[in-house]
A and B are shown apart, each in its own frame.
Chain A
Amino acid sequence: MNEQKKGGFFSIGLVRGVLGYLVGMVIGLALVTGIRMILGLTPTTPWDPQAKTFFFIEGAYVAGAMLGTIGFMLSVGVVGDWLKWMRGIETPSHPTDAFEKGSKRYLSASFDHKVIGVQYGFTSLVVFMLAGFFALIFRTELAAPGMQFMSLDSYNTIFTLHGIVMIVAILLGVGALSNYLVPLMIGANDMAFPRLNAFAFWINIPAAVTLLSSILLGGLETGWTGYPPLSQTSPSLGMNMFFWGVYFAGLSSILGSLNVITTTIRMRAKGMNYFRMPIIVWSALATAIIGLTATQLIGLSFQMVSFERLFGMSFFGPENGGNPILFQHLFWFYSHPAVYVFVLLGLGTISELLPVFTRKPLFGYKWVALSSLAIALVGFLVWAHHMFTSGMESYLRVPFMYSTLLVAIPTGIKFFSWVATLWGGKLSFETPMLFVLGAISVFLLGGLSGPPNGTVSTDLHLQDTYWIVGHFHATMFGGFVFPFFAALYYWFPKVTGRMYSEKLGKLHFFLMLPAFYVQSLGQMQVGLLGMRRRIADYDPALAPQIEFTQLLVTIAAFVIGLAVLVSVVNFVVSAKRGKVAVANPWRSRSPEFMLPSPIPVHNYGDNPFEVIGEPYDYGLAGSAYVSIDPDRAPKLKEPPVAADPVPAGAD
């Protein structure tokens, strides 16, 4: 049972997957090139990066990416059971991993939601640092007027990739939190569909490879929003790699969301009605509802432009009866709700952690829970506020202004609830709490910079400027980055069995918060004064007013990068050599803290808990949330079962 699968380098899922990608890619390239030869069309072009021709034609590279992705998925080890079912072979209801432990386990297909959660989290941090690295490159270019070391082309490619790679990093982080936490917090032993879970994680890898291959195939000049006609006529083959990379990453979102919704609806512990779930599960549910229903639209809109490029179709090309504004409607119909996918779990993290660090109930739990659903719902009705200057019907801008401003109501409910939770509490300031408090103030800044954009007339000045860049960075940092770090520090002892370094955690925070404020306020200021976004150099007429702020913003970006590095060092070193953690370092009432650290493979095993009280009744004498709470629940008949605990630090 405990025998680790023998096997060398080539038994690792990731390695097999990469080989599978290469094989699929070669087949795809050969297939299209071969078909073209048979049809008498030019099979290849000269290799000339200047002229943006790369030997194989664009359609061949697209086929290569698609078959490469399929090849990866067939080889990494996630579809084995499904193929068996197709052949009538039965399998155990919960699949076992190829490796029981160790780094090989994490680099291969695992069906344990906790391993998948860590895989998502680790990949998220790596991808986040890559996107951050891109930002540091172009921020260095922007530190002073004039072009220093980048070309206009490479600049466009790097900031486009910064945008989309960050979005992928955030989706992965959201996946990490949902997948790791939801089953644990509702008392389930895994997600409803473990194989789908593994599939949804692993498809992100070929998606990312495809996306990043755009650098080698001509770069990107459209920004992550990929508006046609530019994205249709742009000579770069990388454009199609961008479209299909995002398409497959979107598939991950959809499948993961399906899993979260089913798990939450069907697998809650006894006594856990919806209003007795941990609040973060409400956020995960609202996030998954959006992910399941909206993501299709970005896939669709990108697919349509891809077909315009490959097959000469004209959905958005006015010369053949198409309409460029149609793309924007289709694109933003997903991409606006998407931003709520990015932030709802972060906001849920804030709501989840505040009671623990204030020793006070979450104020107005029901209202906070429903506000997540309300944000998800209203979030579907506002997309055209990204299009106020697009040339869509002028009158249509007014109803979208009303709906956009309305999102402030459920968001405000959250802010007021957080303040009311803090008020009169008994606050302590460990690293997770610092990041929660930072998140609240940063998300506040981001949220408050929203209404000027949501109001049409002021948006006429602000659209496509650095004010917008400041707005969305503040909402992303406040709604994802700060809370994500809060969550990482908070659950670190539970995941690894060891404590992170509190000193380094505080260093991370006290570097990142002020630096981020400088960055954010700087961006908003230069935007108001007239700096457009997505430009490689600022207009000479404007330079004197903004160049000093630009320098400050660049320095701030580097400080943030340094802070993130500090956290990564903290996580990596503490996982191996941190002080062994107690099961419940935060004296939380939440069920996952009643289990040993790290959590045993089968979570609650055969002894799931029963919900016997409200989740956040801190201060209510004699109350417990779950029946397995050793400190608060009435004398337990048997101690909580820990099936197969893995000793702390064993790796």
Chain B
Amino acid sequence: MKKYIHMIVAAVLVVIVAAGLIYLLDNGGTAALLPEAAAAQAEPIDSLFGIEFKVIAFLFSLIVVLMLYSIVFFRRKKGDETDAEHIEGNTTLEVTWTAIPLAAVLFFAYLGGQSLAETLRADPRPEIISVIGQKWQWSFEYPVDSVAVDKVASPVMYMPVDKQSILYLSSRDIIHSFWVPEFRVKQDALPGGEDFVRTLRVTPTKEGVYYLRCAELCGQQHTTMIAEVRVVSEDEFIAWRNGEVAKLSDPVAIGQSVYENNCKACHTLDGTQGVGPSWLGLYGRQEALTDGSTVTADDAYIINSILNPNAQVVAGFPAGVMPQNYAEVLTEEQINALIEFIKTIVP
């Protein structure tokens, strides 16, 4: 009789503790644990989190309450040298606690598959955004329908609210990863060109400013590889994009855009020490190189530094850090615009 009393009391305690935790989760708990949800893709993920947290709460209560109960009520009496009851096992119990979890696991995997499918759902005619990661900044390219240019580049990611954007993720050097916590979904950005472009669909649902933070360790400056994401109304989005197109007639502005989208992470404009040499006063100055020679920073030198970064390394900086594939990334026109921009960076 006594055995069953223990089982009943313990079972009741498990239910009380589990119910208490589940109640807390449902009433603000889960919401407090997660960042605000700002994308449609967050919905199926958050609802699955909700279920998962409750299952965790239940299972944790089950094992820990029974353990604590045993610690309190099944203590060895002082001086008692006898053993406890000789119970070796119970096949029915074993089968039950194998079969029920098996069914539960398969069910949850099924729910997981459904939830994944929801996040992958494709809307017709999404906004196209290319997301390009490189050590250690992000840049975003938007296709445009203008006579002069076919795309606009921006260091800030503008997204129209309540419309699905399809992000084409790629990297210029090593593996980075796209993640905005409020959007939930995450995807690595891979180097290697077309074959390695990966997509992510995001439908922002709340206007505001969010942060994209690289989520795959990418070396020294991984910590600060952050970009701003601005979710704006569709009208604002179109207005912004048109404005960017307009800017693209002035070479210095083009050069500045090239700088912000490709060089900003490592080269400062104000003289402070960065991963690479600062551009303050760069044009025309004498640079000391690692091989001991000195060279004038003229057009030829700057172009060579961009296309063959390891050929002439400035003294005090390591070789092998600057990406070596800018020849494929930047057009001649862009490089010339960049030089025009550099000429304006004087103290």
Contacts and interface: CB of A to CB of B under 8 A. Distances in A.
B84 to A, nearest CB: 4
B45 A461 contact: yes
Contact of A152 (B35, B89, B221, B313): B221
Interface string B80-98: 1111111111100110011
B321 A367 contact: no
Given A535-B223, A619-B85, 16 more contacts: A152-B220, A155-B223, A229-B173, A318-B190, A359-B83, A401-B109, A422-B71, A424-B84, A440-B63, A441-B64, A455-B115, A457-B118, A461-B185, A464-B216, A534-B222, A587-B81
Given A222-B219, A401-B112, A455 B48 contact: yes
B175 A324 contact: yes
Nearest to A538: B223
Contact of A51 (B87, B101, B319): B319
B113 A233 contact: no
Given A50-B316, A152-B223, A427-B71, A397 B191 contact: no
Contacts of A318: 190-193, 195-196
A324 B101 CA distance: 36
A412 B101 contact: yes
B157 to A, nearest CB: 15
Contacts of B102: 406, 409
Given A318-B192, A406-B105, A458 B45 contact: yes
Interface string B54-91: 01100110011011001100111100111111111110
B191 A229 contact: yes
B3 interface: yes
A458 B67 CA distance: 30
B219 A389 contact: no
A83 interface: no
Contact of A420 (B82, B93, B195): B93
Contacts of A222: 217, 219
Nearest to B215: A464
A412 B320 CA distance: 49
Nearest to A236: B318
Interface in B222-238: 222-224, 226
Contacts of A155: 223
Contacts of A542: 211
A534 B215 CA distance: 9
24 contacts: A156-B219, A230-B219, A233-B173, A319-B191, A324-B196, A359-B82, A366-B89, A390-B188, A394-B120, A402-B106, A405-B106, A408-B101, A413-B94, A416-B93, A441-B63, A444-B64, A456-B112, A457-B118, A461-B185, A464-B177, A528-B34, A532-B214, A533-B217, A537-B223
B247 interface: no
Q: How large is the interface on A (under 10, 10 to 19, 20 to 34, 35 or more residues)?
A: 35 or more
Interface stretch (A30-38, A129-137, A445-453): A445-453
Interface string A529-547: 1101111110101100000
Contacts of B115: 455, 457-458
Given A324-B175, A423-B70, A618 B84 contact: yes
Contacts of B80: 426
A363 B88 contact: yes
Contacts of A390: 188
A601 to B, nearest CB: 33
Closest 5 interchain pairs by CB? Answer: A318-B192, A619-B86, A530-B181, A455-B112, A426-B76
Interface in B104-124: 105-106, 108-109, 111-113, 115-116, 118-120
Contact of A456 (B67, B71, B116): B116
B19 to A, nearest CB: 17
A391 B188 contact: yes
A419 interface: yes
B217 A230 contact: yes
Nearest to A614: B88
A361 B86 contact: yes
Contacts of B97: 412-413, 416
Interface residues of B, number: 94
B188 A534 contact: no
A365 interface: yes
Interface of B: 3, 6, 33-35, 44-45, 48-49, 52, 55-56, 59-60, 63-64, 66-67, 70-71, 74-77, 80-90, 93-94, 97-98, 101-102, 105-106, 108-109, 111-113, 115-116, 118-120, 173-175, 177, 179, 181, 184-188, 190-193, 195-196, 198, 211, 213-224, 226, 290, 313, 316-321, 325
B221 A405 contact: no
A423 B109 contact: no
A233 B94 contact: no
A44 interface: no
A194 B141 CA distance: 64
A508 interface: no
Nearest to B323: A233
Given A424-B87, A460-B119, A541-B211, A529 B70 contact: no
Given A364-B90, A398-B116, A409-B102, A460 B83 contact: no
Contacts of B87: 360-361, 363, 420, 424, 619
Contacts of B81: 587
B28 to A, nearest CB: 14
B179 A464 contact: yes
A148 interface: no
Interface of A: 50-53, 152-153, 155-156, 221-223, 227-230, 233-235, 318-319, 323-325, 358-361, 363-367, 389-391, 394, 397-398, 401-402, 405-406, 408-409, 412-413, 415-416, 419-420, 422-429, 437, 440-441, 444-445, 448-449, 451-452, 455-458, 460-461, 463-465, 525, 528-530, 532-537, 539, 541-542, 587, 614, 616-620
A230 B98 contact: no
Contacts of A616: 88
Contacts of B6: 423-424
A153 B74 CA distance: 54
B132 to A, nearest CB: 15
B198 A391 contact: yes
Contact of A156 (B71, B111, B116, B220): B220
Contacts of B90: 363-364, 420
A448 B49 CA distance: 13
A617 B89 CA distance: 11
Nearest to A364: B89
A339 to B, nearest CB: 19
A221 B220 contact: yes
A389 B175 contact: no
Nearest to B59: A448
Contacts of A455: 48, 52, 108-109, 111-112, 115
Contacts of B111: 455
Nearest to A151: B220
B131 to A, nearest CB: 13
A156 B186 CA distance: 23
Nearest to A433: B71
Contacts of B55: 451
Nearest to B70: A422
A631 to B, nearest CB: 10
Contacts of A618: 83-84, 86
Contact of B86 (A228, A406, A617): A617
A460 B177 contact: no
A541 B210 CA distance: 9
A319 B325 contact: yes
Contacts of A325: 190
B112 A51 contact: no
A425 to B, nearest CB: 5
A51 B187 contact: no
Contact of A389 (B106, B187, B317): B187
A541 B181 CA distance: 12
Contact of B84 (A360, A366, A444, A535): A360
Contacts of B196: 318, 324, 391
A529 B37 CA distance: 11
A426 B86 CA distance: 11
